[in-house]
Structures are given as structure tokens and as C-alpha cells.
Amino acid sequence: MQIVILCGGLATRLYPLTKKIPKAMIRIGGKPFLEYQLELVKKNGIFDVVLCIGYKGNQIKKYFGNGKKWGLRIKYSSDGKKLLGTGGALKKAEPLLEDVFLVMWGDCYLPFNFQKAIAFFKKHKKLGLMTVYKNENRIEPSNAEVKGNLVKAYSKKRRTKKMKYIDYGVSIFKKEVLKYIPKNKFYDLSKLNQLLIRKKQLLAFPVKRRFYQIGTFEGLEEFKRKYKKLTKL
């Protein structure tokens, strides 16, 4: 199985920390955050990685290379001069992708069993899967409504009282969904999720352990406090 990690954003919420480095290269305990993500991926039995890079992405490429040092096989897809958004970056990586692949946000540490989500996806035979956490507006505002095995509604802007879950940060897709994403245009992955919801093709896989994110200074400081315990699990 192959995983795509989206790590090409500008990370403006972390300025001035990210003025000279990409968010994925913020050091915690002497290592870039992305290194913790890659170690987690490897623990979950996934060895093929595609890194979607953008802002100052050459720093990521120079540090991680082909991934051999970490026992991984790493390939790169770059947005180029124009940032393409999460969905656009995925479309740009299309030539590198397998028939089924995982996608993970580049600023989240997600301590759960990836293989269980993969098995769930294979069993239910849909085009996509979203991991969800029953957040009930505790960590961040909830953005997903789940009914049975499916995501019924998802929006970061138009939230409703029925939205008890939050997008956890890992998705699984069949490659054929990329036909819905335009080439070389800015496109947010949330649009693809909403399209699959309308087609009743987006599975919901509930995760019981909470996620950690470094997209804000508050989240970054929390991960710094907890990373030693989290990465031993």
C-alpha cells in the first residue's frame, strides 16, 4: 500500500517560524515533524510514500532523499510555481499513484491502526474513505456527519448540529476519483469528499484516539509536550 503526504502549504499561521522553512521541517526533539510521521507510517506497515511538496519543498527533498535511510521508498511531486491546494497537489501526483492509496495531512500526527482502515475500505468497496473522530466540538469544531458506514455530510464552513465527528486526517481513495479533479488548477480536497458524499461513495472509519496537529502554535506546543509518549506507542 502507498501513502501520499500533503506537505506543500504555506503555513501562514505559523509565521514567522515558517518564513524560511516548510512546516514539515519544524524540528521537535531534534527531528523534523515529517520524520515522526514517516516513522508512524512505517510502524503501520506502509513503505511506499509520495510527498507532495510546494513551499520550500527542496528542503524536504534534500533531507529525506529517496527514503532509504528510514527503510522507505519516497517519491516526490511538486506543485511548481503555482500552489495547487490539497486536491490539486494530489492530481499533480497522479502518474506516481497506485490504484488504491492513502492520503495524510502533512501537519497531523495520527496514532491509530492504519491497517484496520485499509481492511475496512477493502471490505466495503467504495471509492473513498475518511477517517473520523467523534470530536463533538471538543478539540476543534466538528465538521462531519456520519450515518452507518458512510459520511453523510462534510463541511468546514457550513457546520450543523448533526456534525458530531471531525475529519481525522487520513483518507483512502481509488485512483479513479482523480478524474473529478481538474489539472493544474487550485482545488481543495474537501470538494472531492463532498462529491463522493453525494454519490454515497465516502466511507466513514471511526477512530477512538484523538489526533495531534502542528498547524497552529497551540497545536505545535501541545505536540512538543506529548511527542515522547506518543511516538513510543
**181-230 per-position pLDDT tens digit:** 999 899 999 999 999 999 999 999 999 888 888 888 988 998 889 888 78
- Report residue 10 as a C-alpha cell: 504555506
For residue 76, the model assigns a pLDDT of 97
H-assigned helices in 108-151: 114-124
More confident residue, 161 or 24: 24
Burial class (CB within 10 angstroms; exposed 0-12, middle 13-18, buried 19+) of 154: buried
Q: Are 135 and 164 in contact (CB under 8 A)?
A: yes
Q: pLDDT tens digit string along 49-95?
A: 999 998 888 999 999 999 999 999 999 999 888 888 999 999 999 99
Q: Are 32 and 26 in contact (CB under 8 A)?
A: yes
- The residue type at 155: S
Contacts of 30 (CB under 8 A, 6+ apart): none
Instruction: Check pLDDT > 90 for residue 158.
Output: no
Question: Which backbone phi and psi does 204 adopt, to 5 degrees?
Answer: -110, 125
Closest to 12 measured CA to CA, from 53, 52, 55, 59: 55
What radius of gyration do the chain's Cα atoms show?
17
Instruction: Check pLDDT > 80 for residue 159.
Output: no
For residue 137, the model assigns a pLDDT of 66
For residue 215, the model assigns a pLDDT of 86
State how far Cα 140 lies from the chain centre: 17
Closest to 172 measured CA to CA, from 140, 141, 207: 207
Closest to 197 measured CA to CA, from 123, 137, 132, 146: 146
- β-partners of residue 206 are 132
Once rounded to an integer, what is the mean pLDDT over residues 155-177? Answer: 89
Please report the DSSP string for 175-189 in residue order: GGGGGGSPTTS---H
State how far Cα 30 lies from the chain centre: 23
Q: Find cell 469544531 and name the residue.
A: 141
Q: Determine the longest span between alpha carbons in the chain, in angstroms.
A: 47
For residue 227, the model assigns a pLDDT of 84
Separation CA 44–CA 108 (nearest Å): 16
The CATH fold of domain 2-230? Spore Coat Polysaccharide Biosynthesis Protein SpsA; Chain A (3.90.550)
For residue 135, the model assigns a pLDDT of 75
Is the dihedral angle over the CA atoms 89, 170, 117, 124 positive or is it negative? negative
Q: pLDDT tens digit string along 7-53?
A: 988 877 888 888 889 999 999 999 999 999 999 999 999 999 999 99
Q: Are 210 and 167 in contact (CB under 8 A)?
A: no
The pTM assigned to this predicted structure is 0.93
For residue 142, the model assigns a pLDDT of 86
Beta strands in the chain (DSSP E): 2-7, 27-28, 31-32, 48-53, 73-78, 100-105, 108-109, 128-133, 144-147, 150-154, 166-174, 202-207, 212-213
Domain assignments of the chain as residue spans, ordered by start: 2-230
